[in-house]
Amino acid sequence: MTLTAKDFKSDLKPIWCPGCGDFGVVQAMYRALAAIGRPPHEIAFVSGIGCSSRIPGYTTAYGFNSVHGRALPIAQGIKLARPQLLVLAAGGDGDGFSIGGGHVPHAIRRNMDITYVVMDNQIYGLTKGQLSPTSPRGLQTVTSVGGSLEQPINPLLYVLAYGAGFVAQGTPADMAGLTSIIEEAIRYPGFAFVNVQSPCVTYGREDQQIKAHREQMKTLVSLGHDATNMADALARAQHYGSELYTGVFYKNPEPPQTFEAQARERQTQLGPSARPRDRILDMFRQH
């Protein structure tokens, strides 16, 4: 069955501001899913809260626009309950690294076959322009008129340090590249992270819009980067915020077994000695 991008586009019209980077992201998502070839009913797409978290509703996959910062735990629950589904998670930088930050390390170390796409615009857009965890130091907003005093989180270093097996970054300024990265992330057999520099056209910095991305971006391939080398990946990731590197930072050449595969193996091993369901409570009765 040949699928096209249109098969993944829902009838709901996006309410994102005209010019929003997320239009490019959802388009890249449609194309990547078409290339993967799984039909929409075999895909579960979970998001948190924010402008970018509306993305599941704009696809024909089973979507769950859930609660703030909780896309990853819900995505993991879905994957455990229905391992045959292709599970995607998405959200913004605030959803993922502020309120949702506590879930990221555990999702990474658990290593379920989930692809997590963060639309990183360095601002809280839905709530009209407050600092986010990736906002650069000194950024002035309506609620931080003196400028941010905090160092931003580096999402690339964050996920690499926690051991993510696949880490990449893209921008809608390079649609072919972004599509390719998302497809590769979905194909990776384990937890995959894609940071998309997706500018907020309304509350973001003027000098960080798509036009600027086109001028600034440097593909990791053109720099001779070795994506199988973790030390190289960490070195490149340090430049988050000062350079716009796109492509795959790290891809584990020997992906470890996923959590769900290990859980199945454990179930098979313990199966013969498992008690019948109606006798399980016996374990807790005092003798």
Partner 1 sequence: MPTKGIDYRTISLRDALDLAVLVEEEAKERYLELADQMALHHTPDAEGFFRFMADNEDKHRVELLERRHKLFDHQPSGVTREMLFDVEAPDYSEARVFMTAREALETALRSETKAWTFFDKVLPLLLDIGVRGLFEELRAEEVHHQELVRRELAKLPPDDAFCHEDFADEPVGQD
Residue 208 Cβ vs partner 1, minimum distance, rounded to whole Å: 12
Instruction: Give the nearer residue to partner 1 in terms of CB position, either 128 or 275.
Output: 128
Instruction: Give the nearer residue to partner 1 in terms of CB position, either 12 or 280.
Output: 12
Q: Please give the Cα distance from 156 to 271 (Å, whole number).
A: 40
Residue 117 Cβ vs partner 1, minimum distance, rounded to whole Å: 17
Instruction: Give the nearer residue to partner 1 in terms of CB position, either 4 or 228.
Output: 4
Q: Record the tokens describing residue 101, joined without a space.
A: 């930050």
Residue 160 Cβ vs partner 1, minimum distance, rounded to whole Å: 29
Task: List Cβ neighbours of 24 (8 Å cut-off, separation of 6 or more).
Answer: 172, 173, 175, 178, 198, 210
Residue 98 Cβ vs partner 1, minimum distance, rounded to whole Å: 19
Instruction: Give the nearer residue to partner 1 in terms of CB position, either 179 or 246.
Output: 179
Whether 76 and 112 have beta carbons less than 8 Å apart is answered as yes
Instruction: Give the nearer residue to partner 1 in terms of CB position, either 39 or 57.
Output: 57
Whether 221 and 238 have beta carbons less than 8 Å apart is answered as no
Residue 34 Cβ vs partner 1, minimum distance, rounded to whole Å: 7
Write out the residues near partner 1 by the rule CB under 8 A: 4-5, 12-21, 23-24, 27, 31, 34-35, 51, 54, 57, 125-126, 128, 172-173, 175-176, 179, 201-202, 209-211
Instruction: Give the nearer residue to partner 1 in terms of CB position, either 100 or 125.
Output: 125
Instruction: Give the nearer residue to partner 1 in terms of CB position, either 211 or 275.
Output: 211
Residue 20 Cβ vs partner 1, minimum distance, rounded to whole Å: 7
Residue 210 Cβ vs partner 1, minimum distance, rounded to whole Å: 4
